[in-house]
Amino acid sequence: MKIEYSLESSRNEVLKTSVTVDEANVANKVRDIMKIKEISIQKDPKFKLNLQTCLLQISGFKKLFADVENLRKQPFDSSYQQHENMLIKLWDLLMPHVHLESRITKQWGDIGFQGDDPKTDFRGMGMLGLHNLVFFGDHYTAAARQTLSHSNHPKIGYSYAIVGINLTEMAYSLMKSGLLKSHFYNLVPGVPQLHHFHQFYCYLMYEFDQFWFKEGPSSIMEFNHYREQFHERIKQLLQDPKTVLKLNFSK
């Protein structure tokens, strides 16, 4: 984090642009920085490798955010078969023993969508919301089904898919603000990939479900209040530069 701040604050254009270097050019950029800063490899033999790792993480985070942003801006398109297939996959992952009668049906409400056609619920977060939901269901199937079951609680249940998309917005905003940097820098010793963002989203989904039922709200009408409490709790955890937020099913 300090190296990133130092480079971005520099008046030297070579140093300033080091934070957005392509992965293939990192070695050359490290050499340029060492030359400008007159770093002796004999005095500090680990400097070169450490700086290279830092640049990979810094530039990698920026590229990852661009990838996340692109998915968020991509609307769900019913004419695109891949989008349709992903939506059906979400149903099959969460409701393996229930036949989906048609593409447009009230059954979507069973997994927490608002209307007969889920595509309208993805407007805010675009395909990022669907990718997140499918990743959770695909990679942590038991936890996703358990969370869906919890969401159907007769008194304080919530709309699984709608809350999931809401948590996509939370994950996105945390990344956009830069609060997720230390998490990714601690988690990935190199270039973070899209699946690392999806894993953080899964953490939010699982932890929010645990938080919701632990707090015991009187009804879904209190969602915004408890959502903000949960958001603040996550932000506080991310204030610690050593934080790595991973799924923990041992609770």
Q: What is the DSSP string of 138-188?
A: HHSHHHHHHHHHHHT-TTT---HHHHHHHHHHHHHHHHHHTTTHHHHHHH-
Same domain, 6 and 110: no
The rounded distance, in Å, linking the Cα atoms of 177 and 105 is: 38
Kindly report the pTM of this predicted structure.
0.94
Give pLDDT < 70 ranges for the chain.
Answer: 250-251
Same domain, 196 and 113: yes
Same domain, 88 and 57: no
Domain boundary among 41, 64, 87: 64
Phi, then psi, of 8 in degrees rounded to 5: -70, -25
Contact, 192 vs 60, CB < 8 A?
A: yes
Same domain, 33 and 115: no
The pLDDT assigned to 163 comes to: 98
The pLDDT assigned to 43 comes to: 84
Same domain, 94 and 126: yes
Domains held by the chain: number: 2
Same domain, 123 and 23: no
Q: How many Cβ atoms from other residues are within 10 Å of residue 74's Cβ?
A: 16
- pLDDT tens digits along 138-160: 999 999 999 999 999 999 999 99
Domain residue limits at 45: 2-64
